[in-house]
Amino acid sequence: MSETIKSITDIFIRRPVLAIVVNLVVVIAGGQAIYNATSGSGGFTVRQYPQSENALVTVKTFYIGADADLVKGFVTTPLERAIAAADGIDYIESSSVQSLSTISIRLKLNVDAIKALAEISSKVDQVRGDLPPEAEVPIINIETADTEFASMYLSFKSSNLERNKVTDYLTRAVQPALTAVKGVQRADILGARTLAVRVWLRPEKLAAFNISATEVRLALASNNVLAAVGKTKGSYEQISLSSNANLTSVEEFQELILREESDQVIRLADVADIELGAEGYDGDVRFGGEQAVFMGIWAMPSANSLDVMKRVRAEVEAMQDRFPVGFEGGVAYDATEYIENALKEVVVTLTETLLIVVVVIFLFLGSIRSVLVPVVAIPVSLIGGIFLMQIFGFSINLLTLLAIVLAVGLVVDDAIVVVENVERYLRDGNSPKEAAFKGARELVGPIIATTITLAAVYAPIAFQGGLTGSLFREFTITLAGAVVVSSVVALTLSPMMASKVLKANSEDKGFRGVVNRFFDRLRERYRKMIEGTLKARPAVYTLWGFLTFLVIPLYILSSMSTELAPTEDEGIIFGILSTSSNSNIEQSSHFSKQVQDVFSSTPEYDYSFQVTFPTGGFGGMIVKPWGERERHIIDIRQSMIPQLGSVPGIKLLPVLPPALPGGSNFPVEYIISSTAETEQIAALARQVANNAAATGLFALPPELDVKIDEAQSKIIFDRDKVAALGMNLSDVGKDLSVLLGGNYVNRFSIDGQSYKVIPQVKRSGRLAPEDLVDMYVNGPNGNLVPLSSFATIENSVKPRSLNRFNQLNSVKISGIAMAPLDTALKVLEEESSKVLPNGYAIDYAGESRQLRKEGSSFLPMLMLALVLVFLVLAAQFNSFRDPLIIILGSVPLGMFGALLFTAMRAPGDPWTPHWSWGWTTSWNIYSQVGMITLLGLVTKNSILIVEFANVLQERGRSKLKAASEAAATRLRPILMTSVATIFGHMMLVFVSGAGAAARNSIGLVLVGGMAIGTLFTLFIVPSLYMLLAKNHQNDSAEVSV
């Protein structure tokens, strides 16, 4: 045999040590990456999804006592106007309610959050002087995690301490310790009752002593001060000085002198009840039905959230011995349990896929020796892919692990083709080494072509902007990287191993002989069928045209079931609670207990938590682990809706966690905005929502975020009487603010912590608006005047909140779609076009906004992928005809097979019955990426046929003979690679448990498209070759390899 190097594979067959060394380097590098990942020594972080910044900046400004109109006009509007000038903002939402302005600024995806925060802070500072003096300093927070929800919620309660004392203990001892845990971004107390000195004013005593509320406030402000008096400095020593200018106990507040007259001293205790209470009493937090205080733990975006939450658990466990007697604390909800279970499920799927692929290869090759070559190629390729993950700085997440699972069915393809081709030459009588030389040389071109093709397919996704690019960049590069490594293995290690491991003239022995004879018979039958189809090419072209045409209606049907992502079963149902506008905390808590009864009566119930406020709240029901229940979380939610709807006096919407980062509470978030008044917008929005609800596509009637049902009592001053009494409204307003507003005057200190001092009339003195007119305010000459002498009460109904979207008055329609999200949004858009007059705009937030942004990206991405594949193949084959044969003979057929399973997701009915979910999927971001992946897979089969047909023509076969012989010769490797891919990905279709929905979706597209696409490709590509391929017979004489 000539020593001339005819191919790169010759080098590694002749130098086996070099082949081993090259692949050992890959294994060692990848092994080091795996060690870093498993030992926690660096290199990888573990996350649910690839890191992305879905930053949300919130600006909260308290204007205690001001109604929603005042808050909107004097706080929200000027702040919004300034903030809108900052860069990197996607949209701005705001809400103005009694005493509070909240502005939520959603930044564009992956914008530098710290830079944006600094710019927004600067904008707020610029208008700080324009806000009312009574308004507190705006509080600016930023959420930079993948989700707005905390990674963990802790629950604390005590049988001996009141809730304000529990809160104080958490603030002093627990919160600092947990914040210091490595990787914790922050620990927020929820349902806190922060300690405060409450000065409960008694109006009748104030009137009896002729002391105004403002006088009390001034006394508190002037007699409870922080005096930094400095130090003495003598010739030989210096002494620090302090004073008792500040009050430090309830008793000292009680003894505070308000007024000293000739015959008496009036102290604060004479006109008020003073206690160490709480800043607010309008929150009720319960865990498992019992009162508690919660703490939310957020992990840093760059941290390994699983490790962080393990450290938090360990710290909480270590605290148990230090807790006061009767104090209890533990984990109420841990989101990383779902992540950890989902990652474990992917690893299980990976193991099952490896076993299935090995079994499939053995059944096709029939020999342990033959199986050994691809079996070695799989781990080397996967380990090399993990090394590339480390180089690119990727994390271990659901999508990169999914890429590794998919890679199992892909990286084995090249090694399978090499082994099969070498065995074909062995059966022709060549020695193992000669067979390895000839078989490997033939496949250098196809292996390189298929590898570059697959990489080209993923290029549009890898460089795609928006959510698709952010989520799937790591997925595509990981998968493409593993395939590239597999091609290196196939060109270096596999040919060398084939020359050493395979034996000549043993194909007719044992099981291997049975397998070979079976495929020989199958090949001959297939050859005859191909010869028949080549004689009836017009019928084949008609069939191809028909199947290609069907792709269009199937795509249209599939798009009717469009959603952003399939709903995952995360084992929790959140409940968003709303009550009537005049509810108090006692009434809302009573309703929450009834909701708890519904939760606890559910068979899958494990435990629950609730956070309740006077007019609303939220909570969650955690269900039993996946292995301990049969029903999917969607079925559980559906069964609860009638029971929750029967609880009187409330509306509770059960929602599931967002499917992807950046989502919010409701899948449907549809916004109507205008310059019109809020009441007018709300009336039109209600009409749109009612019309949409009538279609039956919503689980419950859609909710409006603006409810015009809040009773408001307005104090109407008779300005003539005010003037006649010699009074001014400024003094009246100050008195009423002290009596009713709940503004804090200053702070006092206990054991190094400062707390607010808040004067206010006790609740029993302000039960109804009519009680207010009996209060006294400061009049002329220091005499008190009853409010009833110059003011009356006027009752009206106002919106609970005044909301805006991008600086326009707005109303948001939120809901849970029973149909795919795109269908629900189209219904709302259609109804809006009928109802809304000119001057109104529609927009989206949350998951709906993501869908509208990403929903139109598939076709451009598909076209770009096809163009890149065409150009790569054209360069590889030095022809513009051959790429057309490859693409036309595979892509439409694969798409036809995949779209069958997406089009069958009945778009006209509310969510296809659950029993069909195993073989249908919605059109979503995962199925779309699966479709792009499918393009690279199905073209590999056509490449094998077309490339070998060209070789046969150059060897002297006629075009017709080359087409039939190439298809017959490549039948076995095509079937082997396709079946290995199909069965390897089959586990994705039928897997259940944590994170299964996404894997089901992408797996179904790949399995369906690959199975049906391969079947038609085997019969249609030879005929298309006859139609489009160049006649190579005259290009060269028949040659031998």
Cα separation of 75 and 84, whole Å? 14
Query: Which pLDDT value is given to residue 54?
Result: 77
DSSP 231-249: EEE-SS-EEE-----S--S
CATH number reported for the structural domain that contains residue 485 in this entry = 1.20.1640.10
Domain tally, the chain: 5
- Over residues 1002-1027, mean pLDDT: 92
Distances (CA, A) of 615 to 10, 577, 591, 773: 78, 8, 11, 26
- What would the two tokens of residue 390 be? 């480390």
Query: Which pLDDT value is given to residue 909?
Result: 46
Query: Which pLDDT value is given to residue 669?
Result: 92
Q: Token match 């070789």: residue?
A: 951
Let me know if residue 338 belongs to a domain.
no
Q: Is it the case that residue 243 has pLDDT exceeding 80?
A: no
- Over residues 60-71, mean pLDDT: 88
Q: Is it the case that residue 1038 has pLDDT exceeding 70?
A: no
Among candidate residues 123, 118, 93, the one with its CA nearest the CA of residue 106 = 93
- Over residues 392-420, mean pLDDT: 85
E strand residue ranges, 461-615: 572-579, 605-613
Q: How confident is the model at residue 177 (pLDDT cuts 50, 70, 90)?
A: very high
The per-residue pLDDT for range 90-102, each reduced to its tens digit, is 999 999 988 899 9
Share of the chain above pLDDT 90, in %: 26
The per-residue pLDDT for range 707-716, each reduced to its tens digit, is 887 777 788 8
Cα separation of 290 and 782, whole Å? 50
- Over residues 828-854, mean pLDDT: 91
Give the list of residues 6+ apart from residue 238 with CB closer than 8 angstroms, or none: 231, 232
Q: Token match 């020695």: residue?
A: 431
The per-residue pLDDT for range 482-501, each reduced to its tens digit, is 999 999 999 999 999 989 88
Query: Which pLDDT value is given to residue 180?
Result: 92
Q: Is residue 729 a contact partner of residue 717, using CB atoms and an 8 Å limit?
A: yes
Cα separation of 256 and 199, whole Å? 12
Which residue(s) pair with 575 in the sheet?
619, 654
Let me know if residue 335 belongs to a domain.
no
Query: Which pLDDT value is given to residue 42?
Result: 61
- DSSP state letter for 173: I
Q: Is it the case that residue 579 has pLDDT exceeding 80?
A: no
Cα separation of 662 and 620, whole Å? 20
Cα separation of 49 and 146, whole Å? 8
Q: Is residue 394 a contact partner of residue 415, using CB atoms and an 8 Å limit?
A: no
Q: Is it the case that residue 124 has pLDDT exceeding 70?
A: yes
Let me know if residue 359 belongs to a domain.
no
Q: How confident is the model at residue 911 (pLDDT cuts 50, 70, 90)?
A: very low
Q: Is it the case that residue 645 has pLDDT exceeding 50?
A: yes
More confident residue, 122 or 709: 122
- Domain range enclosing 116: 55-144
Element (H, E) at 327: strand 327-334
Residues 522 and 629 in one domain: no
Residues 961 and 1035 in one domain: yes
Query: Which pLDDT value is given to residue 147?
Result: 61
As a dihedral over the C-alpha atoms of residue 565, residue 569, residue 570, residue 575, rounded to 10 degrees, the angle is: 90
Residues 397 and 476 in one domain: yes
Query: Which pLDDT value is given to residue 146?
Result: 58
- Over residues 937-949, mean pLDDT: 90
Q: How confident is the model at residue 41 (pLDDT cuts 50, 70, 90)?
A: low
Residues 953 and 1006 in one domain: yes
Element (H, E) at 298: strand 293-299
Cα separation of 727 and 781, whole Å? 10
The helix/strand/coil state of 54 is coil
Share of the chain above pLDDT 70, in %: 94
Among candidate residues 657, 569, 667, the one with its CA nearest the CA of residue 151 = 657
Residue-level length of the chain:
1041
The single-letter code of the amino acid at 297 is I
As a dihedral over the C-alpha atoms of residue 821, residue 823, residue 826, residue 827, rounded to 10 degrees, the angle is: -110
Cα separation of 182 and 116, whole Å? 25
Q: Is residue 136 a contact partner of residue 62, using CB atoms and an 8 Å limit?
A: yes
Cα separation of 358 and 980, whole Å? 8
CATH number reported for the structural domain that contains residue 218 in this entry = 3.30.2090.10
The per-residue pLDDT for range 760-817, each reduced to its tens digit, is 888 777 767 777 767 888 888 778 888 888 888 888 888 888 999 999 999 999 988 8
| Residue 38 neighbours by CB distance under 10 Å | 10
Mean pLDDT of the chain, nearest integer:
85
Query: Which pLDDT value is given to residue 1040?
Result: 36
Alpha helices in 646-744 (DSSP H): 678-693, 719-724, 729-736
Cα separation of 475 and 997, whole Å? 17
Q: Is it the case that residue 170 has pLDDT exceeding 50?
A: yes
Which residue(s) pair with 898 in the sheet?
none
- Over residues 133-142, mean pLDDT: 88
Residues 737 and 661 in one domain: no
Which residue(s) pair with 703 in the sheet?
814
Query: Which pLDDT value is given to residue 912?
Result: 47
Let me know if residue 166 belongs to a domain.
no
Q: How confident is the model at residue 17 (pLDDT cuts 50, 70, 90)?
A: very high
Residues 872 and 779 in one domain: no
Let me know if residue 409 belongs to a domain.
yes
The single-letter code of the amino acid at 889 is G
Residues 869 and 774 in one domain: no
Q: Which of 819, 845, 871 is the last residue of a domain?
A: 845
265-269, 440-444, 468-472, 807-811: segment of lowest average pLDDT = 468-472
Residues 766 and 809 in one domain: no
Q: Which of 144, 178, 211 is the last residue of a domain?
A: 144
As a dihedral over the C-alpha atoms of residue 80, residue 114, residue 57, residue 144, rounded to 10 degrees, the angle is: 160
Query: Which pLDDT value is given to residue 127?
Result: 92
Give the list of residues 6+ apart from residue 583 with CB closer than 8 angstroms, or none: 614, 615, 649
The per-residue pLDDT for range 535-575, each reduced to its tens digit, is 999 999 999 999 999 999 999 888 887 888 888 888 888 88
Residues 396 and 448 in one domain: yes
Query: Which pLDDT value is given to residue 910?
Result: 44
Let me know if residue 295 belongs to a domain.
no
Among candidate residues 119, 125, 134, the one with its CA nearest the CA of residue 89 = 119
Q: Is it the case that residue 40 has pLDDT exceeding 70?
A: no
Q: How far apart are the first and last CA of the chain?
A: 12
**693-852-465 Cα angle (round to 5):** 160
Q: Is residue 869 a contact partner of residue 887, using CB atoms and an 8 Å limit?
A: yes
Q: Is residue 1039 a contact partner of residue 955, using CB atoms and an 8 Å limit?
A: yes
Query: Which pLDDT value is given to residue 94?
Result: 94
Cα separation of 649 and 581, whole Å? 11
Q: Which of 121, 144, 167 is the last residue of a domain?
A: 144
Q: Is it the case that residue 590 has pLDDT exceeding 50?
A: yes
How many Cα neighbours within 13 Å face the side chain of 3? 1
CATH number reported for the structural domain that contains residue 652 in this entry = 3.30.70.1440
Query: Which pLDDT value is given to residue 908?
Result: 45
Query: Which pLDDT value is given to residue 120?
Result: 94
Distances (CA, A) of 108 to 86, 121, 467, 664, 804: 12, 17, 10, 15, 19
Query: Which pLDDT value is given to residue 456?
Result: 86
CATH number reported for the structural domain that contains residue 76 in this entry = 3.30.70.1430
Residues 937 and 828 in one domain: no
Let me know if residue 291 belongs to a domain.
no
- What would the two tokens of residue 809 be? 């008055």
The per-residue pLDDT for range 715-756, each reduced to its tens digit, is 888 888 888 888 888 888 888 888 887 788 888 888 778 888
Query: Which pLDDT value is given to residue 43?
Result: 64
Q: How confident is the model at residue 470 (pLDDT cuts 50, 70, 90)?
A: confident
Residues 690 and 746 in one domain: no
Cα separation of 425 and 962, whole Å? 18
The helix/strand/coil state of 140 is strand
Residues 809 and 718 in one domain: no
Distances (CA, A) of 959 to 627, 953, 968: 58, 6, 14
Q: How confident is the model at residue 1033 (pLDDT cuts 50, 70, 90)?
A: low
Let me know if residue 329 belongs to a domain.
no
